[in-house]
Structure 1
Amino acid sequence: MSRTAVRMIAVAVATAAAMTAAPAASAAAAEATTYEATGAAGDPFYRYDGAEPLASYAPGTVLKTRTLPYHLLGIPTPVKAVQLLYRSTDALGRPSANVTTVVRSPTGDGTRAVSYQSFYDSLDPEDGPSRAVAGDVSLGGLIPHVEVALVAPLLAKGYDVVIPDTEGQRADFAAGPEYATNTLDSIRAATRSPETGLDSATRFGLMGYSGGAIATGWAAALAPGYAPDVDRSLVGFAEGGLLVAPAHNLKYVDGSLTWSGVIPMAVIGVARSYDIDLKQYLNSYGLKVYAELEHGSITDALGHYPGLTWKKMAKAEYADPNSVPEFVEAVNRVNLGSAATPTAPGFIAQGNAGVLEGTFGNPPGIGTGDGVMVAGDVRTLARQYCATGNTAISYRQYDLLSHFGAPLVWAPAALEWLDGRFAGRPAPSDCGRIPAGNSLAPERPAPRS
């Protein structure tokens, strides 16, 4: 891959950004064309069809390998990408097969790599970044094309880039622990494949924003226990726009004009991840929204359900989501504040434009945030890491920036921070200077109203 190829990708991001606003009908036509040409919907590469049971392989084992052109908006570029089908573990601890993409830097030597976790946020497996690389241009899968603006600078700096399909092949949206295992096993697979040029001596950084921060944060937290071999190779993790306590976020966006569609997305994703049935608690309208978004993406949710609340979706006796035992169990499982403290240094950033949650005010104990993520939760998590032994934590709060504005500041700062860790410079610490935040205690069941 040449420098020219990297520049071609970076320049083409402007086209990808413009496509974000394209009419849905045009995107649908492009999607149909792509599927006809590449067979993405039925691509056999994604299926494990080996003779041995998947459980017989260790996590991170490479099951299939292919090399193809890196596509941008369905157009092949001179950049080559290696894709791997590998063995991983789902949210319930069962063996699973997943796909990751490895892109080599024109100046890289295999010693430094960044695992970049995409914020593709979707309940449709066809929207994963590996499918975008292979040529998919569906509206829901457009985000990975736009994210080339974040990947290209890494390649230009000499970092090889690994891009896992963090949500797995069922698109288990918001299931942080599964995002983590998919990410960690992706790194294992990338270092075990001779085609990638990476090996056990490769040092890695983790990087992700928003949905990508879910994967980054959980991977950093679970690495010491689930993948100590990967943990030893980590120089640090950089994340922004972080989901910490999903139960708080659902209250925060309740009634929002823009972000309320995340409520059913999270309900569907968590229910799917942990094989629980939350539909039994929904009313007819809730079931209608559930059906509309069951295979939808963030593009189908943002602004499409203005003013939506949990109460509007739930049966009267379940107006308080904490009256649903399965809900309480699920949101506690995906509360990052209950996970272990990472051993790697961390750069954590969060927008806090003063946006109150909901339509009619500010429920006690949640505070402000960036419109979808709760700043107080992120502050508490950073303080918790400091208090439990990891003092190499940098924290930035962007008080004038929303969830959409913060990445413009976060991305260059995160890259500069990672450069320092790869260069061997001591990680700076903001421990002792991070303001107090919210309680991250587990949710408690509430009596039904």
Structure 2
Amino acid sequence: MLSTDPRPIAVTIHAAAGTGAGADRRIRLPRRGPGRDRDTVRSSIARVVVTAALLAVASVTVAPETSAEGPALPAGSVVPDQDPFYAAPADIGTYPDGRLVAAREFDPRMSVPVRAWQLSYRTNDSHGNPILAVTTVMVPTTPWTGPGPRPAVSEQIPEDSTGTRCAPSYGFATGTSQAGNQITKMLGNGWAVAIPDFEGPQSAFLAGPLSGHAVLDGVRAVGQFAPAGLGPDTPWGLHGYSGGAAATGWAAELQATYAPELRFVGAAIGGVPANLPVVLKNVDGGLFSGFLVGALVAAPREFPEIRLDTMLNERGRADTAAAADLCVLELLTRYPFWRLSDASVGDHYREGSPLIEVLQRNSLGEVAPTIPIYNYHADTDEVVPVAQADELAASWRRGGTAVVTARNPVGEHILEGGRSEAAAQQFLRDRFTLDTPVTDMDIDRPVPLSR
């Protein structure tokens, strides 16, 4: 929505690391519209296996150690919980959805020439309450030579974490994000890229509506930030894998009613955990059960009706307390083979339980997006079962969404994300450059046809 609110936007321009430009400068811009018993050997082996595998995941952010002494840190190098930039203004509720609050430039240390900023903006949690969110926007410094305005992609990196130090914005500002390669490829296409912290200020992992709001309002905020050079005519694509695909799916489902003014050409989602009860039951007790622990920690922050205090036993309460501020790699290496039945009282997977009810509410498939979708997945995905992704595609098609499904007959969850990245980008490239409508298609290879 557009607004004529005359209040200025606070913009902090920070010297990039190593530039010697001195102290931060704040300028004012006019506002514009819109415990556990474990077999020691088994646990050790699991930790090695999971760690080695996850090093290949583009989503992992490892929070650096910081010191109270020494030179001033570059912009964005302070943990979000301690950084005033991430603090919502007292009157955040008076800001329209997507209203830009503040901005600061930083050095993302990319291998391609770009300018990068962190933008804070008003969005809403899953219940419609106003919150502050942050997105990272990168724009190539080379001129756009393609037809029409420079395209942009909102890239949802799978944070899958319980602490704000794992947020993408912090990872890029500190140079610790491992998602640089995929972002570099998009920038190399000449596209601008926005990377929202879609878990919000409480790291509410798996909070579906919140994530969709944060993605869409992040795009709105970028459009208000003149230095990025993106405006109302900018064509946008959406992309995300795994946890990032869930956020992308929520943005696609909500866009027509929440942000109808935004121009999206399509969305690519891979390894999508669409049916959360199915996915979490699948990882329970297995190598990737850290995802379940993370969900149990983070979801009650947004949905307190889960009532962990009465749901868990002593062991479960100790485990979840220890997991309150962990990134995805830490969750998976600390909690392999963790079972909810060993850590709780009663059957919490029964239909109608508070846990299942919340998970169902945060699952995809109730609303059909109005933009074309590329849905890719490995048939042998051991973390996120492909059947529930197939069910999502079928549900969306019944609602009128054009969906291309690509199924890799050989692969698993982590490797599929990297292996099919080029195909996902090709789908978006076609949407940016071709006028031919997308029609439903099922292909058994990870490379989509240009249409």
Q: Shorter chain as normaliser: what TM range?
A: 0.7 to 0.9
Equivalent of residue 259 in structure 1, options 274, 288, 291: 288
> How far apart are residue 147 of structure 1 and its match?
1.0
Equivalent of residue 64 in structure 1, options 87, 102, 125: 102
Equivalent of residue 91 in structure 1, options 114, 117, 126: 126
Does residue 172 (structure 1) correspond to residue 214 (structure 2)? The answer is: no
- d(CA) in 1 for partners of 2:285 and 2:161? 21
- Mapped contact 2:293–2:335 kept (Cα < 8 A): no
Unaligned runs of 5+ in 1: 1-16, 22-26, 138-144, 354-369, 435-449
Q: What amino acid is the match of 1:135? A: T
* Structure 1 counterpart of 2:43: none
Q: Deviation digits for residues 156-175 of structure 1, max 9, x if unmatched?
A: 11101111111111110011
Q: Deviation digits for residues 126-177 of structure 1, max 9, x if unmatched?
A: 211111222264xxxxxxx221111111111110111111111111001121
Q: Deviation digits for residues 324-375 of structure 1, max 9, x if unmatched?
A: 732132112101023x10000110011122xxxxxxxxxxxxxxxx121121
> How far apart are residue 83 of structure 1 and its match?
1.4
C-alpha distance 432-302 of structure 1, shift in aligned 2 (>3 A): closer
Query: The residue matched to 2:200 in structure 1 has which SS?
Result: coil
- d(CA) in 2 for partners of 1:334 and 1:404? 23
Q: Deviation digits for residues 209-265 of structure 1, max 9, x if unmatched?
A: 1111011111001101111112xx000000101011111112111221x11111121
* Structure 1 counterpart of 2:304: 275
> How far apart are residue 124 of structure 1 and its match?
0.4
Does residue 126 (structure 1) correspond to residue 137 (structure 2)? The answer is: no
- Mapped contact 1:112–1:204 kept (Cα < 8 A): yes
* Structure 1 counterpart of 2:37: none
- Mapped contact 1:105–1:161 kept (Cα < 8 A): no
- Mapped contact 1:64–1:86 kept (Cα < 8 A): yes
- Mapped contact 2:348–2:355 kept (Cα < 8 A): no
* Structure 1 counterpart of 2:35: none
- d(CA) in 1 for partners of 2:78 and 2:246? 30
Higher helix share: 1
> How far apart are residue 303 of structure 1 and its match?
4.0
Q: Deviation digits for residues 253-305 of structure 1, max 9, x if unmatched?
A: 1221x111111211222111123322321011111110111111211121432
Equivalent of residue 153 in structure 1, options 162, 185, 188: 185
Q: What amino acid is the match of 1:43? A: D
C-alpha distance 328-112 of structure 1, shift in aligned 2 (>3 A): same
* Structure 1 counterpart of 2:267: 237
Equivalent of residue 399 in structure 1, options 393, 404, 409: 409
- Mapped contact 1:245–1:335 kept (Cα < 8 A): yes
TM-score normalised by structure 2 residue count: 0.78
C-alpha distance 35-268 of structure 1, shift in aligned 2 (>3 A): farther
* Structure 2 counterpart of 1:337: 365
Does residue 111 (structure 1) correspond to residue 154 (structure 2)? The answer is: no
* Structure 1 counterpart of 2:374: 347
* Structure 2 counterpart of 1:55: 93
Q: What amino acid is the match of 1:113? A: A
- d(CA) in 2 for partners of 1:333 and 1:286? 24
- Mapped contact 1:108–1:160 kept (Cα < 8 A): no
C-alpha distance 19-329 of structure 1, shift in aligned 2 (>3 A): closer
- d(CA) in 2 for partners of 1:82 and 1:251? 39
* Structure 2 counterpart of 1:32: 66
Query: The residue matched to 2:350 in structure 1 has which SS?
Result: helix
TM-score normalised by structure 1 residue count: 0.79
- Mapped contact 1:31–1:136 kept (Cα < 8 A): no
> How far apart are residue 121 of structure 1 and its match?
1.6
C-alpha distance 34-382 of structure 1, shift in aligned 2 (>3 A): farther
Q: What amino acid is the match of 1:178? A: L
C-alpha distance 128-306 of structure 1, shift in aligned 2 (>3 A): closer
* Structure 1 counterpart of 2:258: 226
Q: What amino acid is the match of 1:373? A: V
* Structure 2 counterpart of 1:45: 85
> How far apart are residue 319 of structure 1 and its match?
2.7
* Structure 2 counterpart of 1:439: none
* Structure 1 counterpart of 2:335: 305
> How far apart are residue 80 of structure 1 and its match?
2.6
C-alpha distance 405-39 of structure 1, shift in aligned 2 (>3 A): closer
Does residue 382 (structure 1) correspond to residue 401 (structure 2)? The answer is: no
**Which stretch shows the higher mean deviation, 299-308 or 376-385?**
299-308
Number of residues of Structure 1 aligned to a counterpart in Structure 2 = 377
- d(CA) in 2 for partners of 1:380 and 1:408? 23
